[in-house]
A = this chain, B = another copy of it.
Amino acid sequence: MTTRVKVGIRTVAAEAGVSTATVSQVYNNKGEVAEATRARVLAVGARLGYRPDRIGQALRSGRSRVIGVVVSYRDSAVWEQTYMPYYRSIIAGAAIEAVEHGYSISAAPSSPSGDLETQVPLDGVIVVDPVPHDAIVEQSLANGLAVVTDGGYETTDAAARLRSVRSDMAQSVPAMLDHLDAASGGGLRPALFIGPRHDSYTDDTIAAYRRWCSEHDVPEAISALAVGETPVDAAGRLLDGAGDRIDAVHCLNETYSSALLAAAAERGIRVPDELQVSVAGDARGVGVDPRISYLHLDPVHSGALCARTLIAMLEAREVHDVVESVTVVPAGVHVGGDVGAP
């Protein structure tokens, strides 16, 4: 093994016969450096295996290259089953994207008041499913952090360092309902099965559903999980209450669609013959049910997109809000069916 002396900016400077300032300029593409010098410095740096120390850079620049993913801790089984799987995909997607750009990520638990309980200084945060006037978003902006929300966010402040990444429910929910309508031969009477939280994702879905109903002149049937109610009970309530007036249900997430299928089975309702079911969720996971149609959401991809958007902001690049398109995966189709070698 070669002698492992720590090779810093000084080592390179000395070896290349220039000053540390010049080496710095070269590695940051800043200032005016003669082409010959630049080449020499780069050559020496490469030979010595020089990598600028991120910590030194961070100290100097005041930027930590750490981005936070805000998680709100909740200790219920619904959190475990519904939100946690989503968060972990976001975290993983963000982490994998971040590393490509030299960033790391930190989970950032938040207090109800909206400030982040984190020991590491963050350059920016990703906030998942914000509610209107979200305390975390507002606090973070006030603290000078860049913010990207996963889910739409309305702000009056045009100058805010804020962007959003959201799934195009306005487009995809009607597309799904059209699909179910066609599959049933027309005259579809769809219900909507949602949770108790009014985040942007829920609101976008509701709005799209309502619009479709109004355009097709069918009555709305929106059923929300009550606080304290189990999904299966809520699904049962939905079926018992509107069972004969509906022939399809779109569910906000996979916990609800599972509950609905269970409730339907208990009542001897056959899916999809008697009742079509659709859900927004991962159509490629192990738990996909061939009887139901998916609005294919890929939270890992969303996490990556959020991270990329945030990093672009941090590096002062031009960046806009992002709307992800969502595809309809009809029942019976397995996207991940062509599984190859590991």
B342 contacts A74, C-beta separation under 8 Å: yes
Give bound CA distance, A255 to B334, whole Å.
13
Contacts of A87 in B (CB 8 A): 92
The verdict on A341 contacting chain B, using a C-beta distance below 8 Å, is: yes
Tell me, in angstroms, the Cα distance from A95 to B342 when the chains sit together: 26
Chain B, residue nearest A73 (CB): B96
- Are the CB atoms of B54 and A119 closer together than 8 Å? yes
A11 on the B face (CB < 8 A): no
Contact of A118 among B89, B99, B105, B286 (CB under 8 A): B99
Interface members, chain A 250-264 (any B CB < 8 Å)? 254-255, 258
In the assembly, what is the distance between CA of A248 and CA of B54, in Å? Answer: 54
Residue in B71, B96, B103, B340 whose beta carbon sits within 8 Å of that of A71 in the complex: B96
Nearest chain B CB to A247's CB is how many angstroms away?
A: 24
Known contacts A91-B88, A342-B225; decide if A54 and B285 are in contact (CB<8 Å). Answer: no
Q: Which residues of B contact A338 (CB under 8 A)?
A: 77, 230
The answer for the CA separation of A127 and B58 in the assembled complex, in Å, is 27
User: Can you name 25 A-B pairs with beta carbons within 8 Å?
Assistant: A54-B119, A54-B120, A55-B59, A58-B58, A74-B342, A76-B339, A76-B342, A77-B336, A77-B338, A80-B336, A84-B92, A84-B300, A85-B285, A85-B286, A88-B91, A99-B107, A99-B108, A99-B119, A104-B106, A105-B106, A196-B341, A197-B342, A228-B340, A228-B341, A230-B339
- Bound-state CA distance A286–B197 (Å) is 20
Chain B residues with CB below 8 A from A336, complex form: 77, 80-81
Instruction: Decide yes or no whether A332 CB sits under 8 A from chain B.
Output: no
Shortest CB–CB separation between residue A69 and chain B, in angstroms? 8
Q: How distant is the Cα of A69 from the Cα of B95 in the complex, in angstroms?
A: 10
Q: Considering the chains assembled together, what is the distance between the CA atoms of A66 and B65 in angstroms?
A: 11
Taking CB as reference atom, which chain B residue is nearest A109? Answer: B99
Within the complex, what minimum Cβ distance (angstroms) separates A298 from chain B?
A: 10
Complex: A92 Cα to B300 Cα, angstroms: 12
Q: Is A158 close to B, CB under 8 A?
A: no
Q: Which residues of chain B have C-beta atoms less than 8 A from A78's C-beta?
A: 339-342
Q: How many residues of A contact B (CB 8 A)?
A: 70
Q: Contacting A92 at CB < 8 Å: which of B74, B91, B258?
A: B91
The 8 A CB mask of A109-122 against B (1 = contact, 0 = none) is 10000000011110
Q: Report the bound CA distance from A77 to B230 in whole Å.
A: 34
C-beta contact mask, A165-209 vs B, less than 8 Å → 1, else 0? 000000000000000000000000000000111000000000000
Q: A55-B59, A118-B99 are in contact. Are A195 and B342 (CB under 8 A)?
A: yes
Let me know if A102 is at the binding interface, CB within 8 A: yes
| Residue A227, interface by CB 8 Å | yes
Asked if A287 and B284 sit within 8 Å, CB to CB, the answer is no
Residues of B within 8 A of A118 (CB): 99
Nearest CB on B from A143, distance (A): 9
- Bound together, the chains give a CA A284 to CA B258 distance in angstroms of 12
Query: Does A98 make an interface contact (CB < 8 A)?
Result: yes
Most buried by B among A74, A82, A287: A287
Q: Are B285 and A81 in contact (CB under 8 A)?
A: yes
